[in-house]
Chains A and B, each alone.
Chain A
Amino acid sequence: MSKVYVGMSGGVDSSLTAALLKEQGYEVTGVYMKNWTEDLPGMKCPWADDLADAKRVAVQLGIDFKVFDFEKEYKHKVVDYMIEEYKLGRTPNPDIMCNQEVKFKLFLEAAIEDGADLIATGHYARVKDGTLLQAVDTNKDQTYFLYRVTGEALTKTLFPLGEYTKPTVREMAKDRGLFTANKKDSQGICFVGKVGIRDFLSQYVEQTPGDVIDKKTNKLLGHHDGAIFYTLGQRHGLDVGGGLPYYVVGKSMEKNEVYVTTDLNDNTLWREVIKLSSVHWINNAPASGEYDIRVRHRAPLKKAQLSIDENGDVTLQLIDPERAVASGQSVVIYDGDVCLGGGIVA
């Protein structure tokens, strides 16, 4: 019987993943990936409690349980990358990087090395013959976070939850009396948690006050505490009061300036053409043509005309313009249910 190492985070999804695979007859080992343990101001990192919960479920299921320590690699590959990107004025997605570098690389390698035939996680996605498919629960689908995983890794990966909706998963966890059945889902970026990216970043970068400038009138509207903390399209957290809401439409990292407007139709807020670099295809690069794209997790799919240049970079010509597509952000490309891959907004 195949040996499966299940990444168990202490949440309901990965708990049920382990339970289902055990029921299907796999020889299951639960693994807690210790990636981040630091407390942040005002928030105790819940890793020890999460680890204990994962272990509780492993005991409940009567499966082996291990802890894989990727703390050093996670800091280097995910957190440092994220901070560097922000310093360049971009908007990175650390969860995508975590899947690419940690879960479907380091974890996979370590599991195989330890005797596993396959790995599994509680992601809402499906794998069929080494291709990545959207989850049955399109509202919960997590393929956006998985587009940088290799087809090779997917041949050794199981996503049993891809066949179910989230409410069904909760029900199934309750039916089985899993310890974590009623545990609340974690929010936001895993290690940043409830603190928010701004408070997290301010641990690593100095807060330097700068000007908030009206893009149209060039008028000084107020001050901010560092352009690094602002993202295209952002509305809140600008200390400019009164009247219509202002939106971030640009920033200069060099001058530490943030440009805003009240004009919802400002051309920088909307993109008809998106250029992607650092393109990754899960299997093979697709032919030019019309595909569906997604610019952020859970965003509705939109039609776009795809073309690939000689460097492998992608140009997407949208039919309806997309709002607030920031550089550094990922755009994922679909052919029907199949997640083909994607790239990072240049």
Chain B
Amino acid sequence: MNEEMIYLDHAAATPLDRRVLEAMQPYFTDLFFNPSSPYAPALAVRREYESAKQVLASTFGAKGDELVITAGATESINLALGSIGGHIVTANIEHHAVLAAARQYDHTIVSSDKRGFIESSVVRAAIRPETRLVSIALANNEVGTVQPLRDIAAVVREERARRLALGDTTPIYLHSDASQGAGQLDIHATRLGVDLLTLNAGKVYGPKQVGLLWAASHVRLKPQIVGGGQERGLRSGTENVAGVIGFARAMELAESHRKFESDRLRNLRDKLQARLVAAFPDAIVSGHAKRRLPGHLHISFPKLDAERLVFGLEMRGVLVATGSACAANKGTRSHVLTAIGLDSSVADGSLRLSLGHLSNDENTKKAADIIIEEVTRERERTRR
């Protein structure tokens, strides 16, 4: 990416923070040792690995030995759902990783409302006596809606209490993928009320292919990858030391700047939204008006082809995402947009704009101007 480009797709990938890179670098070269090796330099690396996990866990109120480091969020989700099994309750706007994993078990998929919001009452209604897991992401990756996890946690606790009173020992847990929320929202595990939590370094200016599953001490996990018995036997394979060092540093930075950064992003996003909506009063902003990721804007321009917009914007140096169908995959419209009931002629003109570290007042305003020009150009073409 060159400097003139304006990146508005932080929900897809974030650039590695230089401070994170610096923290990681020694572990690729000088400190390359296998943490399981018996000599002193390797033991030193092991201690640093363990202490990085402590730091990492402390950023969301957990303990280092409650973490399982995985290669990204998808693996973490697979470990969570694979460990607990069915019956699973999840939602129709969840990430493919959750939906695909849930489909391997007995499951119920609840519906979000038009705002992409999952009411706790809907979850309550879906819980059966044999339900073992509820999995709801903290924030939706397409429309940015933040879920009422505390309310859903209360529903799960209620069910637990009901079973306890009956002497029924079937456990029920709440899992949440908080990958899209880290750095912008409070992800403190106890405050969220979850039993299992998924995080992804690649979304918080850390390295890709590094993630974690946190499970409270009362949750028994089942390894999905077996071998040398690393990560307490729950995830074998030589530890990704540099990755975890980087993840810890990234989460530390994210937490320390969180309040400032979320205010800053909300301000930028609100201005961006206001500019676009003022220029196109018929544009549709999806997601919950209040409970939304601060840096997230999902906006649809009815009857336009979002893929054309993405290409037009790309040529002018603005990089954005579209959740709608692309010409190569006709008919595979975003399941999230279908779930929230967006008409296909609206969904197909949808852009997802996600702000982050690379966003500032100047480039966000410039992006708004370019988006307005490109949308106008496309509208004029289709009117001909």
- A residues lining the B interface (CB < 8 Å): 32, 47-48, 51-52, 55-56, 58-60, 62, 64-65, 67, 179
Nearest neighbor of A177 in chain B, beta-carbon distance: B315
Say whether A52 contacts B328, CB under 8 Å: yes
- Answer whether A62 and B381 are a contact pair too, CB < 8 Å, given A55-B307, A56-B315: yes
- B365 → chain A closest CB, angstroms: 23
> Is B303 in contact with chain A by the CB < 8 A criterion?
no
Complex alpha-carbon distance, A32 and B312, angstroms: 18
> Is B32 in contact with chain A by the CB < 8 A criterion?
no
Q: Could you say which residues of chain A place their CB within 8 Å of the CB of B329?
A: 48
Q: Could you say which residues of chain A place their CB within 8 Å of the CB of B330?
A: 67
Of B308, B315, B327, which is within 8 A of A179 by CB? B315
Say whether A51 contacts B328, CB under 8 Å: yes
Of B307, B311, B312, B381, which is within 8 A of A64 by CB? B381
> Is B128 in contact with chain A by the CB < 8 A criterion?
no
Known: A52-B311, A60-B311, A65-B308. 18 other contacts (CB 8 A): A32-B327, A48-B329, A51-B327, A51-B328, A52-B307, A52-B327, A52-B328, A55-B307, A55-B311, A56-B315, A58-B308, A59-B311, A59-B315, A62-B377, A62-B381, A65-B327, A67-B327, A179-B315
Closest 6 CB pairs of A and B: A48-B328, A59-B311, A56-B311, A59-B312, A59-B308, A51-B328
Complex alpha-carbon distance, A62 and B378, angstroms: 8
User: A interface, by DSSP: helix, strand, loop or mixed?
Assistant: helix
Q: Could you say which residues of chain B place their CB within 8 Å of the CB of A56?
A: 311, 314-315
Complex alpha-carbon distance, A55 and B311, angstroms: 8
Q: Flag B298-327 by CB within 8 Å of A: 1 or 0 each.
A: 000000000110011011000000000011
Complex alpha-carbon distance, A52 and B308, angstroms: 10
Nearest neighbor of A34 in chain B, beta-carbon distance: B328
Q: Could you say which residues of chain A place their CB within 8 Å of the CB of B315?
A: 56, 59-60, 179
- A63 → chain B closest CB, angstroms: 8
Cβ contacts A to B, 7 pairs, < 8 Å: A48-B328, A48-B329, A56-B314, A59-B312, A60-B315, A65-B308, A65-B327
Which residues of B from 341 to 384 have beta carbons under 8 Å from A? Answer: 377, 381
Q: Could you say which residues of chain B place their CB within 8 Å of the CB of A52?
A: 307, 311, 326-328
Complex alpha-carbon distance, A58 and B327, angstroms: 13
- B6 → chain A closest CB, angstroms: 18
Nearest neighbor of B314 in chain A, beta-carbon distance: A56
- B residues lining the A interface (CB < 8 Å): 307-308, 311-312, 314-315, 326-330, 377, 381
- A339 → chain B closest CB, angstroms: 34
Q: Could you say which residues of chain B place their CB within 8 Å of the CB of A65?
A: 308, 327
Say whether A47 contacts B328, CB under 8 Å: yes
Nearest neighbor of B308 in chain A, beta-carbon distance: A59
- A114 → chain B closest CB, angstroms: 16
- A49 → chain B closest CB, angstroms: 8
Complex alpha-carbon distance, A58 and B308, angstroms: 9
Q: Could you say which residues of chain B place their CB within 8 Å of the CB of A64?
A: 381
- B77 → chain A closest CB, angstroms: 27
Nearest neighbor of A37 in chain B, beta-carbon distance: B328
Q: Could you say which residues of chain A place their CB within 8 Å of the CB of B308?
A: 55, 58-59, 65
Q: Could you say which residues of chain A place their CB within 8 Å of the CB of B326?
A: 52
- B382 → chain A closest CB, angstroms: 8
Q: Could you say which residues of chain A place their CB within 8 Å of the CB of B328?
A: 47-48, 51-52
Complex alpha-carbon distance, A231 and B60, angstroms: 68
Q: Could you say which residues of chain B place their CB within 8 Å of the CB of A55?
A: 307-308, 311, 327
- B307 → chain A closest CB, angstroms: 7
Complex alpha-carbon distance, A54 and B311, angstroms: 11
- B319 → chain A closest CB, angstroms: 14
Complex alpha-carbon distance, A317 and B314, angstroms: 58
Complex alpha-carbon distance, A64 and B304, angstroms: 12
Nearest neighbor of A50 in chain B, beta-carbon distance: B328
Q: Could you say which residues of chain A place their CB within 8 Å of the CB of B327?
A: 32, 51-52, 55, 65, 67
- A67 → chain B closest CB, angstroms: 5
Complex alpha-carbon distance, A64 and B327, angstroms: 13
Nearest neighbor of A51 in chain B, beta-carbon distance: B328
Complex alpha-carbon distance, A87 and B329, angstroms: 34
- B56 → chain A closest CB, angstroms: 37
Complex alpha-carbon distance, A295 and B18, angstroms: 62
Nearest neighbor of A58 in chain B, beta-carbon distance: B308
- B374 → chain A closest CB, angstroms: 9
Q: Could you say which residues of chain B place their CB within 8 Å of the CB of A51?
A: 327-328
Complex alpha-carbon distance, A59 and B312, angstroms: 6
- B58 → chain A closest CB, angstroms: 44
Nearest neighbor of A47 in chain B, beta-carbon distance: B328
Complex alpha-carbon distance, A59 and B374, angstroms: 10
- A277 → chain B closest CB, angstroms: 40
Q: Could you say which residues of chain A place their CB within 8 Å of the CB of B307?
A: 52, 55
- B384 → chain A closest CB, angstroms: 9
- B377 → chain A closest CB, angstroms: 7
- B153 → chain A closest CB, angstroms: 42
Nearest neighbor of B313 in chain A, beta-carbon distance: A59
Residue picked from B307, B311, B377, most chain A C-beta under 10 Å? B311
Complex alpha-carbon distance, A258 and B312, angstroms: 55
Q: Could you say which residues of chain B place their CB within 8 Å of the CB of A48?
A: 328-329
- B306 → chain A closest CB, angstroms: 12
Complex alpha-carbon distance, A325 and B16, angstroms: 60
Nearest neighbor of A49 in chain B, beta-carbon distance: B328
